[in-house]
Amino acid sequence: MDNLAGVDIGASGIKIVRLKKSGSSYVLKEIGYYKFGEVALDNIPLQKEALHKLITANKMRFKDAATQISTAALCMRHIYLPEMPKKDLKEAVKWELKKQVAFPPEEMICDFSITDTVKKGDVKEFSIMAFAVSRKEVDGLLDIFAASGVNVVSIDVLPMAMLRAFDANYSWEDGVNYAMIDIGALKTVISIFKDRKLKFAREIQLGGNDLTMAIVNGLSKSPNGYNGGYYGNAEAEKIKHGMTASDDNRAREFIVTAIDSLVLQIHRSFDYYQAQFRETPVSKVILCGGTAGLKDIEEFFTENLGVPCFRDDPFKNIAKDKKTFKIERDALPLFTTAVGLSLWQK
Ligand SMILES: Nc1ncnc2c1ncn2[C@@H]1O[C@H](COP(=O)(O)OP(=O)(O)OP(=O)(O)O)[C@@H](O)[C@H]1O
Ligand SMILES: [Mg+2]
């Protein structure tokens, strides 16, 4: 594991974390962040160049990488199948997913996680979270790493990386539902965990860049919009003030409107989860991804979701040399996925 880094290639940047195991805990050995400066979703040449620059500029020494597939083309489904041997289950999941993917089914690569065993009448059924992607996407991802001489040992999906990041830093109570919400640049992923297992995951096509666009549109229409109508200015405004209620935060009302619709969709997902699986409510939410750094987001989410919400510190239980690794509080949740990926084990 010491030679392995978690590499999270998102739409807005690349985050790398390498940990070293020390007894039963971990020490942070390497960390890196590269911001693309433009949206680079599915832009392989740009991602390839960025990864290479990040590794060489920081003289990073890892040889193996655990990464995640983050593409608009990832198909994420919840399905039920009758209880059967593992080997047959794989085929059955494949069969179910092939009916649902938007690309040629013969190009499909899939994986799944059993979330529960439920009784329907006299039959026992597996409740399953299944994921599928096309081979072309996987090849593109491998190509990015090959250009830097890095060996990819694992390609995961975001909810599984989030589960490991959660497990490393928070304690579990039996039967309690926890949610982790990754608010990235283009999208938000909700994962619900119980008893150390992924129970449910959903992706919402709304992220931090939509907040910035809401400020751009809002300020360009407002009489006091100064030059906030430009993306870069609006982004700076968002990062400086976030959701803090103050007289000089002219962006707040536009952020609130945009984030309200995100909160509404999260509410719907929680309601669906509770109703569909006859579950108890989610009792704690951890916010991660770059947008979790938004000032006062914890208060806003707690109030509007009606559940205690906390910004993640993915290094909470990870020892680090404070002199070498200076990470601002607001920037901590950027690294949650990379931490989760770096905890991958065979
Ligand atoms: N301190 C901050 N306050 C508010 N927003 C922030 C802050 N820092 C970063 N962001 C926003 O977070 C987003 C980037 O987050 P992140 O790196 O998690 O996204 P990503 O992984 O690249 O994207 P995706 O997960 O959608 O592929 C951008 O929209 C950026 O504006
Ligand atoms: Mg991301």
What is the tens place of the pLDDT at every residue in 25-48?
Answer: 999 999 999 999 878 877 899 999
Query: What would the mean pLDDT of 195-199 be, rounded to a whole number?
Result: 95
Distance from Cα 308 to the centre of ligand 1, integer Å: 22
Ligand 1 site, residue 218, Cβ cutoff 6 A: no
CB-based contacts of 194: which residues, under 8 Å, 6+ apart?
A: 175, 176, 177, 178, 279
What distances in angstroms separate CA 302 from CA 103, 193, 202, 207, 286, one per listed residue? 39, 19, 20, 18, 11
User: What pLDDT does 204 receive?
Assistant: 95
What is the number of the ligand 1 atom nearest to the C-alpha of 333?
18
Q: Whose CA is nearest to atom 1 of ligand 1?
A: 293
Q: Is the pLDDT of residue 183 over 90?
A: yes
Ligand 1 site, residue 340, Cβ cutoff 6 A: no
Range of lowest pLDDT (201-205, 301-305, 324-328)? 324-328
Distance from Cα 250 to the centre of ligand 1, integer Å: 20
User: What SS3 class is residue 71?
Assistant: coil
Q: Is the pLDDT of residue 229 over 70?
A: no
Tokens of 325: 């690794």
Q: Are 57 and 148 in contact (CB under 8 A)?
A: no
Q: In the chain, what are the domains? A: 75-133 (3.30.1490.300), 172-312 (3.30.420.40)
User: What pLDDT does 325 receive?
Assistant: 78
Query: What would the mean pLDDT of 122-142 be, rounded to a whole number?
Result: 94
Return the sign of the alpha-carbon dihedral for residues 69, 70, 71, 75. positive
